[in-house]
Structure 1
Amino acid sequence: MNAFLTARLRRVIRRHQWRQLSYRLAVVWAIAAAVGLVVLMVQAQFGWSSLYSFPAVAALAACGAMLAVRRSVQERPNTRAIAHTIETAYPELRGLLLTAVEQLEADDGGEGSYLRYRVLQQAVDHCQETGNWRAAVPRLRVRTADLVHGAALVLFVGTFWVGRENWRKAGGGVGATMFAARGLTVSPGDTTLERGESLVVLARFGGALPAGVELVVNDGSGPARTISLVKSLADPVFGGTVPDVATDFVYCIDTKGERSRDFKVTVFEYPRLVRSDAELVFPGYTALPPRRIEDTRRVSAVEGTQLSVTFQLNKPVATAKLVARGKEKTEIPLAVVDGKAVATLSGFALTVTQSYDVKLTDAEGRENKSAPPLVVEVLPNRTPELKLISPRGDVRPSALEEIAFEGTVWDDFGVPAYGLAYTVAGQETKVIELGRTVAAKVKQPFAQLVRLEELKVKPDDLVSWYLWADDIGPDGLVRRTTTDMFFAEVRPFEEIFRESQEMQGEPPEGQAGSGEQTKKLAELQKQIIAATWKLVRTPGSGTFGADVTVVTQSQAQALQQAEAEAEKATGPRGQALWAAVIKNMENAKGQLELAAKSPEALKAALTAEQAAYQALLKLQARETSVTKSRNRSQGGDNQGDQRELDGLDLDQSENRYETKRQANSPPSPERREQNQVLNRLQELSRRQQDVNERLKELQTALEAARTAQEKEEVRRQLKRLQDEQKQMVADMDEVRQRMDRPENQSAMQEQREQLDRTRAEAQKAADAAGKGEVSQALAAGTRAQRDLQQMRDELRKSSSSEFSEDLKEMRNEARDLAREQEDISKKIAGLDDPKRKTLGEAPEKDAALNQLAEQQKRMSELIDKATQLSEQAENSEPLLSRQLYDSVRRIAQDDGKAVKDTRQELLEQGNLTRSFNERLKEAEKREGSGKALELTKDLLQQGLLPQAGQAGRRAAAGIDELRKGVERAVENVLGDDGEALKLARSELEQVTDQLTRELAQGQPGEGQRGAGEPKTPTTDAPGQPGEGRQASTEPNPNGTPSSEATGGQPDGQPGDRRGQTQGDRGTREGQRSLAGGGGGGERGEARGADRLEELLRGDRRPGAPGAGYGGPITGDDFGAWADRLRDVEELVDQPALRDAVANARERARLMRQEFKRDLKKPDWAVVRLQVLQPLLEVRKRLGEELARRDSKDALVPIDRDPVPGRYSESVRRYYEELGK
């Protein structure tokens, strides 16, 4: 009985112990798994790795499990606790089992009492009835414990499975020790990196430092690379760089067999535009085929063109759009295809010129770092260009003359028909068709003869004409374009001109007779006709209403003057004519008032205005009093009168007092555009030549490369050349857009076509460089460079005058020759100095002889060139030819006289040998130039240093006279280059000021130095106060502050400016009197005439608000800033200065390019050194050159030399203190 009960209790105890063991083991596995996860986190976060980290955790887990099992095995079962558990599960026992357990524990081996037997019997019976007390430790609890144990075990095994690779890598070397003992930390660990960037790896040790540390890189494409890490001074840090990361890779730290775990580097890319190909579908009226432009970001096309662009990207993107630059920020979505690195813009109609930014966003939300621009320039469908070559302006023919019309017609897309229309006042307009079907972009000449006799015109009749041409407008309909209206005033067969007996500068106001007032009124009426005709031609302009009001007011003023003059009329003919004038003017005024609402009334107004003008012509006097005036341009509105006056032979002699010379007018916009295009073509040619030279070097290097590393370096350099070539293609597109501007379209048609071919060659060079085909890239680049140079030469030749280039070159050669001769004379004088005689005279003497020989050769070439140019210019430029001939003849005479005088001096001094005398006689008889230089060389060879010095000075004087003669001849054709230098200096002042302000913004605290880099004061030409320059407070090089004002004159006579101002004011008042009538007119009338003149000139346009300041390097005005530097290059003739400006501009362009590409501010110290300082030096040199050219009569300081560099800062501070 005892044994049976004990066996049943043991079953319950075993189930209880198994459940406890399961929970204990679950706790052990869970703790071990948690420790393993912590180790994994530490490794991932800090890069720490150890060979024994996971084995240690596993060992600890095993020990914990063993302890749990051992405890369960060795633990003595608590029978009473189990009985209590059974009693709890079975309450009906009511302590029976506990009593039985106590009886068992008190068993002494005897049979015991009946009570004991009954207790045990009942306990056994209950056990049998309840199934061995299974409810005390239910099977569900046991299984739950088993599940918890299993889960913990799985977690533990899973943790070790995750860390198995790190543990294996950490234990890769045999006998490896623990990096944890050294406290290794690797930065950046696992990371992401942009493609093409460099990865910097730092390994920091907290304990003992290893002898050497290496970085092992494996990208899976080949064997692992090893990079030695360098220790950082005293810090326990080793560092190294993985350059130009292109693909994903893993890396680890290796210290002579001890290796860290592998770290992974994931490479990503920002979305980026690789290339964009544009396709243009032109409107039907252009008759142009579709055009495809590869790899471009600039598009020029006529309005209405359909633009399609394919954007090749470096990776697929989620969204792409074009964002317009400006206030509105209009967005144009681009179509993207999933999985393809392409975005497209299809069928975009071009209406306005706009610049867009290409915005890209990839699937990860990354945007392109810098948005590349897409510049779309929409060209208007221009009206035909009609140029009337003959007659020029209004004419005054007789009734029997013939008017020969000659001109040209040009249109960008062709002209269906063109012709001439003329009207005899009071008759119907006759339209003559001169031709049909002019091809696009072809300048078609035409000629037509109109016989006035066949028109049966009479003296004082008015004939008006204009040219017309039809073309197809943007709406596809035919539109007609007309020119300004010109007039032929039929003059009488007899006109009387009487010469006045007094000579004066200007006729006194208030002394003009009635005939003069009638003439002025007629001139005003003609201006009203021209303004009305302009309104007829442009009825849809935005200022139409205001312009009609101006013309109406002017007609009302003319009517008032006519009424005033009509009251003075005495004869019946005059009264009748004035009545007709007033009637027609009133009719014209009424029609103009109606035209404000109905533009059709303008034609009726125009007819009435012409009738009034014809009546005024009949009122003009037939007898004219003529006074010779110095101001030839006075009253120059009537060209016909001026031509007739020029043909008169007056008794009074010409006033030969010299008048003030005016500065040359600035170049026209057309000429400036040509200069800008020329400069850009020259720059592109030079850059292409540089690229070609580098391609040749790379071709040689590629052939000589043996190792893979050398070939990779060549490919890397080739990639940079490809980028440079692509930038040149983009710059060619910019030049192409400039050529497409209206002012350049007709003048640069051939150059545009040639530039398109050149661009194709440059594109081939870029594509070949990208493929690594160096020879093909070099061949295409060479062709592009040759075409660019040829294009520039042809354009310069066509845009310059016949002899301008040769004259500029000859002037520079003459100046160089004079400067060189001055230096030679100083050297010869130094050789003759007794204090300097040394044993080293021979080399200096030989150098002087060589220089004289070179001077003689250059002198002969210059004389030959001047002679040849004089002969060529004999017919076209007779004044130039005569001046060059006189200069050449004078230098020949001076050479002969120098030889003769030197021969006589040598004879008197007794230094003339027989052989030398014969040579001098032969030199006198010999034709040619350079005799004085040859004589100097011979005397120097003979050792006659004083005589050689004298001969050298004579030669220098002759060369200087030649220089002056050449400069005078060149001035007659090109003008005085002094004005060009002043303009160049003024431009440089503004350019450097812009750059200095940007430097001040980029370097706080440096801005006060400002153009201050003019610490070296500018050497402005003093004594030139009134030359149109801005006032300057900078100190002059002589140490005195310049006081440039606008009140003086170049000759130092400030009063002249006042006289000129008064004269100009008088001239303006005389012009205003056309509207104001006789004795000066009223202010309102003058204002009305001015507004009418503005309307005729086309100056009525809204004023543009001033643009805010933007730095040239980092702002938006780099293009305009660079254009001004190009203007300076064209204005300066000295090659050294031009090269300095060009180099500074090129450095600025490269800095701007780097800023736009990398979005990093430039190094302002480098900007100051490489851009600003060279420009300031050029400005200083220009000031010195202008100071040397100043008039000798001007009031200038005695010392013209610039302040030496080492004293310039002290001088600047001195004047700053004075200013305080």
Structure 2
Amino acid sequence: MRWILFAKGLAISLGLTVAILVLAGFAADHWNYGATALRLTRIGSLVAILAAFGWFLLRPLLRRVPDTRLARYIEERHPEIQDRLVSAIELGQKQGEKNPLLPLLYSDALKQIRPIEPRTLFNPREPLLSGVAASCLIGSFALLQLFGPDFLHYATLKLYADWLYPQAKSIYAIEVVPGDLQLRKGSDQLISARLVGFDSPQVNFFSRYESSGKWEKSRMEPEKKSSAFGFLFLDLNEKVHYYVQAGNVRSREFTIDVRDVAQVEQVNLTYRYPGYTGLPDRKEEDTGDIAALEGTRVEVEVQTNVPARSAQLSLAGGTSIPLKKTGERTLRGTLTVTKNSSYKVQLSDPEEKDSFESVEYSITALEDQPPQVAVTKPGRDTKVTKLEEVLAEAKADDDFGLRSLELHFTVNGGQENVVNLFRGKGGATKSMSGTHTFFLEEHDLQPGDFVTYFARATDAKSRTDTDIYFLEVRPFGKEYSQAQTSGMQGAGRTDTVLSARQKEILAATFRLARDRKRFGKKEYREDLKVVADQQKKLQQEAKTLSERMIRRALTERDEDVQKLTENLQKAVEAMTPAHRYLDEEKPSQAMPPEQTALQHLMRAESVFREIQVARGNSAGGAGNQSEAQELENLFELELDQLKNQYETLQQQQNRRADAELDEARDRLKELARRQQQLNERQRQASASQSAQGGGGSPRAEQMRLQDEVQKLARQLERLSREKQNEELAQAGRRLQQAARDLQNSAQGQNAAGQNQGIQALNRMNDAQRMMDRFREGSLTNDVKRLQEQASELARQQEQIRSDLDRLSQAEGFQQG
């Protein structure tokens, strides 16, 4: 009987135990395995298991089975006893007088139960079934642990085997990065937390500083484009402990330790400029960005918060410059500015545990701007007589100092002569002017000859040449005036087309030779090809003109016509090596034959004007008149088309130049507006720095603006050459000066830099006003030119009518 009770109680107790364990696992998972929840669930489940075993296993075994209950159990299985056993037991248990029938009842009951076998009273398989049931329950629980939900296995271990080592890996956890860490004092640190295995609407961050015993609670914010949460420590200056908690899940406690690490507190610069500039050394405090002339040596002084073991300047190209220790917390090194770059200061601390790298500082290499030079008198191509004295004046200025100012000239393309207008010493003179008088009588010049000249300014590193200018020798006043009038009436001023074209080719060749470094390789070749093609085309036109004169036998009738033809042929011969040198990309060698060709073309045109004057002065001589008229007609026939092409090309160039000039004016307005804004920002920054004791300026933007102003100045210089206008040239020079002011502003400090910026803005406004005046004057000249053309057309029409009247009168006279 007890064995059956034991087996049955064990089976029931094990079944309840499995159920309790599963429910405890669900409860622990529901409360996210919090320490309190685990503790309560663990105690509750163990108490329930013990109660189940006590109630269903121990209690039945310890309790005595009543005789009456046992008798009824027997009679239920053997009804033939007919309650004899129960009646005997109940009667025997009654207290009071002894019943005389009791022995008889016992005897009869004993007689009835003696034949009964004990195994017939109990099912021999019942303990086995109970044992099988118990085994199945144990097996089911084992299978749940092995193949059931992960949380059930983890919950069972956390509840009842948390003391094991290694402990079970949590399925709900908070991954915290970076965890334990050591930082330099004053650093910022981002703490990221990622929830593993569960979600939570709120993640809390708990921190406690070393100097405080109180935990501070903060809410962590979700990070963008990430499932993590973040919290940022700012300016950590002491040790701090922290952990992260989401719901009942909590990370372990971490520690961030801080210590003093060598870092840059201040960078001071000392500029030592190249000797040729004559500039004194200049110091800048509490800065790091370098802006200096190429070749400048800059002494970099680095002040640190704590002593550093070693330090170096790490340049952008990969090179490094070691810094020498000059004080407990001071290091120095020197670098030479050669190109635009950047650098960082790298420090290592005495314990060699950490290193520091500063922010990146810029290195801006300022170019030594070439000198500016201009011919101010006469400042344009001029027609002179062979006895005149012509005063030429040149002015030059430079950002650091001029070495020399020279005037170069040649007579009829001959040997170049050099006149020293100024020779400086030590590069101290930044602005200079000089004059030279051309005594033309000394050179035995004739009408058609010419003198070319240009000015050259030199500084320590470069030189600048002006455009080439011409002094054209003309006949004396009355003769020249008659030629002008005759040419206007007859040839429509076609007599100077050839020389004008050749002068443009010579000037273009001079500019290509002078500005070769400014051109790209492809652009340079293309421009040389254009000039060479123009030279070939002009050669063919001059050759065609001379051949037609020969075919008409004009040279046999008049010596002047023969002289004209000879000059044309010599000009054609000189043009051959000229375009050959241009094809070979040798513009400097092409200039002498170009000048020779120009000389002969101008002499040919001078002879033609003499013929015109002779025709105009001849009162009779119908033969001379006829020959002169035939020569004029030939020139008109051959050169009129060339003149029209030349004028059309000039009109196209003028329209393009006008459009480019309008664009340059708009661009200059925009640059002036930006400079005004930059001046205002510098003024505000200076006021703020004065209050705070700081330094610095927006140098990068200043340098970008300076570069754009310089490009615009070069554009205006080119347009002034195309337009042959001195006012545009002056505007270009103003912008060059403004670019230098901007460069000086980038190098200067506080008030000095502001003054340079204001001066640059004033020069830009001056240039803008000059361009506006030129544009207004250009429009006025266009209107005036149209009026002159209309008057000329009317005059030509009247001349034609007069010629027809004379012809009609002559025919009437012959008939009479």
TM-score (normalizing by structure 1): 0.35
Whose Rg is larger?
2
The structure that is strand-richer by fraction is 2
